[in-house]
Amino acid sequence: MRGSTTGWSYPLRRRLLVWIVLFFHSGTPRLVMTCLICRFVAPPGVQGHTALRCPLRRQLQCRYHVSNEHPFYLPGPCLSETCSHAKQCAVCGLLGHTSHSLALRPTRWRLSHGRVVPIASLEVPIITGIDFMCPLVGDRQARRMVAAVHDLALSER
Ligand SMILES: [Zn+2]
Ligand SMILES: [Zn+2]
Ligand SMILES: [Zn+2]
């Protein structure tokens, strides 16, 4: 067993919250929230979101279905019915991912308290085609999906 999961979600959320200081013409610094996955930077009046709430994190690659040499591999059957492994991709038609499922590349993700979280560094490059599980999603489609997530975030005022 992995032990209790209570008690860590708040500090985890705090660690994933990245604040960037922007300087405006007036010279007044302002703190803005940015998402580590899609890099959405909330403009004034928009709430923004953290990496934990990013729509692109909802359909991650299933840890039960990666190769057993993968650092995030979990043995046994995955019991989640909403997991990406049970989905069919609308782009390529294959089972096991959706059109926006991100692959668990260890250069972008790490384990924290048994949970997959994005590596908290702005040096991790923005999401491109290779980050998606679907072999048919290229850099252009990746850019489009990131833009769609930003549009969605902007509409949530
Ligand atoms: Zn995001
Ligand atoms: Zn699964
Ligand atoms: Zn696909």
Residue 1: what pLDDT? 45
Residue 19: what pLDDT? 56
The answer to whether 137 and 103 are in contact (CB under 8 A) is no
Q: What is the Å distance from ligand 3's center to 117 Cα?
A: 23
Q: Which residues place a Cβ less than 5 A from the ion ligand 3?
A: 89, 91-92, 134
Residue 120: what pLDDT? 81
The answer to whether 146 and 127 are in contact (CB under 8 A) is yes
Please tell me the pTM assigned to this model.
0.77
**Alpha-carbon gap, residue 120 to 1, rounded angstroms:** 27
**Alpha-carbon gap, residue 97 to 95, rounded angstroms:** 6
Intervals of the chain under pLDDT 70: 1-31, 157
